[in-house]
Homo-oligomer: A and B are copies of this chain.
């Protein structure tokens, strides 16, 4: 699936209700799902983890749609390697 297809489908599915809720409330949902991802990492159930990653992607898409950010453009910085050092694999100082 193209990133743009996902973002487009998320917009058709959720943008109206996301607008009604607003940016801050929608961002709060993103953070809630990141917390659920943390729990998923702790418990280790693979199928649950897949769901949590999906939910984080979905809410990230919602916030992107609300703020007019194109996730393809956002991802493009990483399309050919590390945006800091330009290399594959990354050759930055470990951090």
- Residues of A in contact with B (beta carbons under 8 Å apart): 1-3, 5-6, 9-10, 12-17, 20-21, 23-24, 27, 30-31, 34, 37-38, 41, 46, 49-51, 53-54, 56-58, 60-61, 63-64, 67-83, 87-90, 94
Please name all residues of chain B whose beta carbon is closer than 8 Å to the beta carbon of A80 when the two chains form the complex. Answer: 9
Contact A27 B38 (CB under 8 A): yes
3 closest Cβ contacts across the A-B interface?
Answer: A54-B74, A53-B74, A54-B77
Classify the secondary structure of A's interface with B: helix
Q: CB within 8 A of A81: which of B13, B46, B50? A: B13
Contact B82 A57 (CB under 8 A): no
A sample of 5 cross-chain residue pairs with beta-carbon separation below 8 angstroms, ordered by A number, consists of A3-B6, A27-B37, A31-B34, A54-B75, A57-B60
Contact A94 B34 (CB under 8 A): no
C-alpha spacing A5/B5, complex, angstroms: 14
